Amino acid sequence: MDKRRASDNPLLDHWDTPHGLPPFGEIRSEHFEPAFVAAMRAHRNELDAIARRADAPTFDNTLAAFDSGGRLLSRVEQVFYNLTASETSTELQAVQRRMAAPLAAHTNAIYMSAPLFARIDALHRGRDAASLSPEQRRLLERVHLDFVRAGARMEREAQARYGQVMEELAALTTTFAQNVLHDEASYMLVLHGEAEMAGLPDFVRAAARQAASERGLPDGQVITLSRSLVVPFLTFSERRDLREQAWRAWVGRGEHPGEHDNRSVARRILALRNEQARLHGYTNYADYALADTMAGTHEAVTRLLDQVWPRALDAVERERRMLREVMVDAGAGADTSIEPWDWRFWAEKVRVSRYALDDAELKPYFRLEHMVQAAFDCAQRLFGLRFEARADLPVYHPDVKAYEVYRADGEPVGIFLQDNFARPTKRSGAWMSSLQWQNRNAPRGGVERPVILNNNNFAKGAPGEPTLLSMDDVRTLFHEFGHGLHGLLSNVTYERLSGTQVLRDFVELPSQIFEHWLSEPAVLKRHARHWRTGEPMSDDLIARLHRARRFNQGYETVRYTASALVDLAVHALPDAEPPADLCAFEAHTLQKLGLPPGVGLNHRLVHFQHLFSGSSYAAGYYVYLWAEVLDADGFDAFVEAGDPFDAQVAQALHRFIYSSGNSLPPAQAFESFRGRPPQVEPMLRKRGLIEEGAG
């Protein structure tokens, strides 16, 4: 690559920034397409050199070389996809649409390369006789399976069609995500006067003022579809008519006729996935997707969900009776129904009356900066990590905070970037991503340290006022930080096995188990301090918080499990063509399941980004519950030790769960940590679906 061309495009140049971070201030949308073209060409040349070798394949000249290849392309992709998720623009979205199919074609060409697969397949056939370390064997098995699941063993005609399917899927999943973002970014419920703000606590009003200011209404109050704003509005607003408006907008994302309608997009994605599965010899996409998971089969997932669903239905009916009692006491007529826009409102009344716990009372103790420090403190006490803020590091938005991460002995670990606030240019939800994976197989040798990002979508406080989090927000922050630790603590040789690149129903274990520490009394006493007075959360409030922790878990479990069951149902259809009306299919499925009225579900198909903005969670939304079996049982190891920061248990958690990446099979990793296979009862107790002490 000549120096003049490299200097014209910062994505292709050497980055002399601290820690080799992207020079975000120099990168423009027009740089990406030529960078992708050049990086794909360089990657093809690297792989062609491996495939054309005349000598026999060895682990080093084939597998290790394959793993170290494509780093320029990975660098460009990671910058691009982080920007399109976190700080997008119409120009970046246009590039994303144009490049979706070419990038998919590049991936297809790699995994359908007959000479490259021949070398890898030869190594795989001879793996038992080879002198491979356990990690090398794991890499060989995973890469070989990657090729097989991408069509390497298909006949030429089937491969050609498979490539077309994958390219069209890449374009459609991009469209789906952009349609959801459009509906989220374009919606505003403007509140006029005190009458329309009735019941809203100060923190919701402050967030609504800030949202209005960011949207050019400096004197207004706006409710957006950011979860951290719409959920508190549904919880506290006394205006039932406005709650209904906000709820309908929230659940109606992706279902509006016109350019951004996701109904036909999702149908086409489902049809192509079914064809993808049939090209692999499966009768439906769920069977194909689940073959490479801990669960392994549709039946195993169904058994887990079947243990939870009836118990959750019983729990939600108990909760409904509590809501009805409060409604009657408040003067609601006996014939007043509980609609989906009512449940959170009346559940908050129950929480206050039965548990003396008000979310508005809790929130002043959960200042964002303090909760970030709480997460850092737990990471230090468990794993010896230190997070040092660096305001001078390049970031892509002023909201992003950058940290250098060190071990207890001062050894550098990596870089952590945290982007906490909602904005119109950012997709909804919360996620962890990477700009660089930890590995010791860099193209020219040496160690590449991880650069890990956390994204949240909290409603920002007004200028001069703090950002206060709900308990749900704090849980989200700890959850994503758990993913971040999974990336930061990775200690493997090969990039393919690094960090969170594990089986989908194992990846949520490190994130979900970390959530447990946020409710530990010692953590709350140290970090949950009232933002005005600095007083720590009282023992009484902590006790009330713990007494109420299982309240409304029936509601949350039904909503989650219903979404998982709909996901499984729609991806298990054997027909080449999906139902003509996906919304009607969804409604019929929920009716058959017996979804109680007024509860709803976490995600409707038309905006279910887990399923349709990519394939990672397709037929796999169940994974949060699967991982909850692991996390509840796993945290019990600390309970049994009598200390939530027990050094010996923390060391095992670090070694086998957070640092091993995909170098160990997940069942082996968990059993090495826990000393036995997981048990489901701790999860059922955690959710209040069986009594304490029941077996």
C-alpha span between 70 and 42 (Å, rounded): 7
The H or E element that residue 600 is part of is none
Report the relative pairing of strands 412-421 and 431-436 from DSSP bridges: unpaired
Check pLDDT > 60 for residue 560: yes
pLDDT in tens, 185-228: 999 999 999 999 999 999 999 999 999 998 998 888 999 999 98
Q: What is the mean pLDDT of residues 59-65?
A: 97
pTM of the model: 0.94
Q: What is the mean pLDDT of residues 661-671?
A: 97
C-alpha span between 480 and 53 (Å, rounded): 43
Query: Could you give all domains of the chain from N- to C-terminal order, each with its CATH number?
Result: 3-153 (1.10.1370.40), 187-251 (no CATH), 285-318+553-686 (1.10.1370.10), 363-547 (1.10.1370.40)
Q: How many CB atoms lie within 10 A of CB 192?
A: 9
The H or E element that residue 50 is part of is helix 32-51
Nearest in space to 506 (alpha carbons), one of 292, 308, 204: 292
Check pLDDT > 70 for residue 691: no
What is the pLDDT, as a whole number, of residue 694? Answer: 45
C-alpha span between 678 and 683 (Å, rounded): 10
Give the residues across from 454 on adjacent strands.
Answer: 418, 432
Check pLDDT > 50 for residue 420: yes
In this prediction, residue 7 has a pLDDT band, given cuts at 50, 70 and 90, of low
DSSP state of 695: -
The answer to whether the beta carbons of residues 561 and 602 sit under 8 Å apart is no
pLDDT in tens, 585-619: 999 999 999 999 999 999 999 999 999 999 999 99
In this prediction, residue 690 has a pLDDT band, given cuts at 50, 70 and 90, of confident
The answer to whether the beta carbons of residues 509 and 500 sit under 8 Å apart is no
pLDDT in tens, 335-391: 789 999 999 999 999 999 999 988 888 999 999 999 999 999 999 999 999 999 999
Task: Name residue, tokens 């499925």.
Answer: 589
Q: How many CB atoms lie within 10 A of CB 257?
A: 7
Check pLDDT > 90 for residue 6: no
Give the residues across from 401 on adjacent strands.
Answer: 418
C-alpha span between 338 and 309 (Å, rounded): 21
For 216: left if phi > 0, alpha if psi spans -120 to 50, otherwise beta; the answer is left
Check pLDDT > 60 for residue 1: no
Quickly list DSSP for 472-530: HHHHHHHHHHHHHHHHHT---S-GGGSTT-S-TTTTHHHHHHHHGGGG-HHHHHHH-B-
Residues in Cβ contact with 616 at an 8 Å cutoff, skipping those fewer than 6 apart:
504, 610
In this prediction, residue 463 has a pLDDT band, given cuts at 50, 70 and 90, of confident
Check pLDDT > 50 for residue 554: yes
Mean pLDDT of the chain: 95
Residue 401 has, within 13 A of its CA and on its CB side, a CA count of 14
Check pLDDT > 60 for residue 129: yes
What is the pLDDT, as a whole number, of residue 464? Answer: 87
C-alpha span between 184 and 190 (Å, rounded): 14
The answer to whether the beta carbons of residues 283 and 574 sit under 8 Å apart is yes
Catalytic: which of 275, 480, 495, 508?
480
C-alpha span between 200 and 229 (Å, rounded): 11
For 490: left if phi > 0, alpha if psi spans -120 to 50, otherwise beta; the answer is beta
Q: What are phi and psi of 497, to 5 degrees?
A: -105, 10
Q: What is the mean pLDDT of residues 489-493?
A: 98
Max intra-chain CA distance, the chain: 84
Residue 480 is among the residues annotated as catalytic for this protein = yes
Q: What angle do CA 253, 258, 259 make, to 5 degrees?
A: 85
In this prediction, residue 517 has a pLDDT band, given cuts at 50, 70 and 90, of very high
Nearest in space to 223 (alpha carbons), one of 247, 199, 240: 247
pLDDT in tens, 146-155: 999 999 999 9
Sign of CA dihedral 330, 335, 336, 338: positive
What is the pLDDT, as a whole number, of residue 612? Answer: 97
C-alpha span between 325 and 111 (Å, rounded): 60
What is the pLDDT, as a whole number, of residue 282? Answer: 97
pLDDT in tens, 525-542: 999 999 999 999 999 999
